[in-house]
Every structure is written in structure tokens, then in C-alpha cells.
Amino acid sequence: MKNPIVRAFILFVIIFIVLVFFYERYTKKKLKEEVDNFSEIIARSLWNYDSAVPKNYLEIHCRKGNYKTLTVKGTYGEVFIHLENELTGSFNQIFLFLKLIRLNSTESSIFFRGKNIGVISANVYNTSIYLYLYFMAVILLILTVLLFFLRVQERSKMLQKTNVKLNDLLDTLKDTQDQLVQSEKMSALGGLVAGIAHEINTPVGISLTASSFLEQRTKAIEKLFESDKMNKDEFQKYLKTATEATSIVLTNLKRGAELIQSFKQVAVDQSNEEIRYFNFRKCIDETLLSLRPNFRNEGHEIDVFIQKDIYLTNYPGAFSQIFTNLVMNSVIHGFGKDRDGHMEIKASCGTETLEIKYSDNGVGMDSETIAKIYDPFFTTKRGKGGNGLGMNIVYNLVTQKLKGEIHCESAPSNGASFTITIPVRL
């Protein structure tokens, strides 16, 4: 009832019904008064058995009014005057056919000098109640259409305002998601830095120890040489020690150099995000080399079955990010602390597409989890280090950046498998 159109609608119906009611009463009353007036005028003529004068009088009024019949009868039912008047005109005929015109009947007794000398009856064409109903229906229809139009306009304005708010909120969410995704990428890069630092520490430490030992042996042999106490056996032992130490230093420095080079390439690829021509197997190996501290120390293993002659013109950084997230997803969500995990990466390259299959022997997922795995912020490790962006990043990189498709298959206790299909050239 708060809408002014509804209030006006109800008020119109009430007023219309009241007007129709009073109009009907007024019409019947006026007809009765007119027929009573006829009875008074023609009473003297009928008393004198003169029907010519009243007949002429009634004919004039019958033609002027909407009378269908006017009948004057005596006290014994004898008919003195009977007049009929048919409606003419197309509209009147149509109204009559549609029952928009009805007959109102009334009669009045004819008295002269206190005696009842007859009765006059009249049938008058009058507006039917159906006409009022049709008229009201049309008005109601117009008001309904107007009300509907106004409501549609009101709803449209509300929807426009809501859409503006939703678009603003969506833009804010997109900006927030982009920031979170970028933070996740930087976090992954930070993890690579920590892992590579830990991995380099071993060969550098071994090289430092071997170098220090070689330095001590060199100083000792130098003293023997200066004091002319150096013999052949001492010199041969020194040469053997120097050869072994040099080999150890060289081997571990090469190992460190390889780690630094792989990390450098992975870091550059993930930060630059540029298309270049690269060897796919080498890209995966460099990524896994950087990730090795994260899964090797936990007792997990990974096997790679990729030919070494696969070359792509694509985003190497996207592949590095994808496999970083897949491996870490397996380590965190699939294996846990009490499970020795095993991962496999396979690839087959055609002329147009490259198909990659990544699988693990983790705890697996049910169908409900699979349906939500790519949703942003969905994680089964809420509050335990999971932010729900890892697989969302993988999905966006595969479908948007690499223009490919990704499909997941899994079941509880049966591990998880991801099939990625991408074009060889973008």
C-alpha cells in the first residue's frame, strides 16, 4: 500500500462503484417520475375514453426518449394505447448485440378523481451494467499497464544502480585478486630463492672445506720444502691431496654454478613473462632443480619422461610457474608428512599441440573438491598455510596465457592426474 499508484487504483475502483450505484438509482428514479407524470397527464383523456390525444402526446415522448414500448391499459386489461420504438443506427445495434444496452421496466397506476382507471407501463433502453464493467475493465487495464510500466522503470533504475555497484565491486575484487596472484607469484619466487640458497650452501660449503684443507696441506709442504726435509713420499701425498681437493672443489663449484644458472633462468622467466624459443625439457629440469629442496628432503621423488628435442615458442615462465604450483600442491596437499610421494611428468608433442600429463600418488580428491579446485581462494588447508590461489593461477595460466586446456582426474586414495593441452606456437 506504499505505492501511490496502487492507492490511486483502489480509490478509482471504489469511486467508480459508488458512481455506478448512484447513477443506477438516479436513472430508475427519473424513469419512474417521468412515467408518473405521463399517468397524470393522460388520466382525464382516458376517463373520457379519448385515446387520440394521449397517444399523440406519448408518441412525441416515445420518439424523443429511449422508450422501446409504452402501453396504456384499462383496469380490466384492455389496451388503449400501445407504442413501439426500435433503436436505429449501427452503434446502437452493436451495443444491443453486446448487451451494452438493457431494458429498464416500470409502471404507474393512472388515477382520476381518486379512482384507478388503468395503468401505464414503459420499457426503456438504458445503459447496461456490462458497459460499466467493460469501461472499468479498460480503465483498469490502462492503469495496470501504467503501473507495470512504472514498476519496470523503477526496477530498471534499481538494477542499474545495483549493476554499477556490482561492477565497482567486481573491479575491486579483480584488482585485489590480481594483487594476491602477484603476491603468490612473488611468494613462489621467494620460495625458490630460499630453496636455491639452501641447495647452494652444500656445494659451496664442501668447496670451502676442501679449499681450506688444501691450503693447510700446501703450507705444511711449503715448510718442509724450506727446511729441506721434504722427501718423495711427502710430496707424492701432497700431490694426491691436491688432486683430490681440486677435483672436489671443481665438482662442487660446477654444481653451484648449475644451480645458480637454473635459478637465474627460472627467475628471469617468471618475472619477465616474455615469449621466447626454448627447450621444454630443459625448462622443466631447471624448474625442478630449483624445487628439489622442497620435495627431496621430505623423501619424495619425481620422474620426468620428456624427450630432449621438444622446442616451443611460448612463455617459459608460465610453464615454470605451473609446475612449481603443481609440485608444491602435491607436496602440501597430496602427500603430507607421513607419505612418501611419487610424481611423474610426461609429455608428447605433435605438430600443433603439446600434451602434458602430471600425476602423483597422493591422497586424491573427491568429486566435490575437483569441481572447486580451480576456484580462487578455495583450499583444503585453510588456516594451515593454504591461500587457495595455487591451482587458480595454474588454470588461468593454462587457459588464458597459454591458450590451452587443463583437465583433472582424481579419486580418494588414488592420487591426482592433470592433463594439459596447449598449442606449440602462440
Query: pLDDT 10s digit of each residue in the chain, 426 long?
Result: 456 666 777 787 788 778 778 877 888 888 888 888 888 888 887 777 777 777 888 887 777 767 788 888 888 888 888 888 776 655 555 655 555 667 778 888 888 888 888 898 888 877 656 666 677 778 778 877 887 888 888 888 889 888 888 888 888 877 776 666 566 556 555 655 665 666 677 778 877 887 887 888 888 888 888 887 778 788 888 888 888 878 888 877 877 776 676 555 555 545 556 788 899 999 898 888 877 776 776 778 899 999 999 998 888 888 888 898 899 888 888 886 767 789 999 999 888 899 999 999 988 898 888 888 888 767 766 545 455 667 888 888 898 888 999 999 999 888 999 999 999 887
C-alpha cell at 420: 594439459
Per-residue pLDDT at 191: 57
Q: Residues near 370 by Cβ (< 8 Å), separated by ≥ 6?
A: 408, 410
**Radius of gyration in angstroms for the set of CA atoms belonging to the chain, rounded to a whole number:** 53
Query: Quick check: 327 and 284 in contact, CB under 8 A?
Result: no
- List the beta bridge partners of residue 115: 112
Angle subtended by helix axes 129-226 and 232-272, to nearest 10: 160
Q: Residue 112, Cβ neighbours under 10 Å: how many? A: 17
Q: How far apart are CA 322 and CA 393, in angstroms?
A: 8
Q: Which domains does the chain have, with CATH numbers?
A: 4-127 (3.30.450.20), 273-426 (3.30.565.10)
Per-residue pLDDT at 281: 92
Residue type at position 52:
A
Per-residue pLDDT at 233: 82
Locus of grid cell 726435509: 229
Distance (Å) of CA 416 to CA 360, 382, 386? 6, 20, 18
Distance (Å) of CA 399 to CA 267, 289, 307, 403? 22, 26, 24, 5
Q: How far apart are CA 379 and CA 360, in angstroms?
A: 18
Phi and psi torsions of 309, nearest 5° = -105, 20
Helix, strand, or coil here: 362? coil
Locus of grid cell 604450483: 325
Burial of 94 (0-12, 13-18, 19+ CB in 10 A): exposed
Kind plus residue range of the DSSP H or E element containing 112: strand 101-112
Kindly state the DSSP code that residue 87 receives in the 8-state scheme: -
Q: How far apart are CA 386 and CA 178, in angstroms?
A: 17
Query: Quick check: 195 and 291 in contact, CB under 8 A?
Result: yes
Per-residue pLDDT at 306: 93
Task: Assign 3-state DSSP to the chain and report helix, strand, coil percentages, each to 5.
Answer: 60, 20, 20
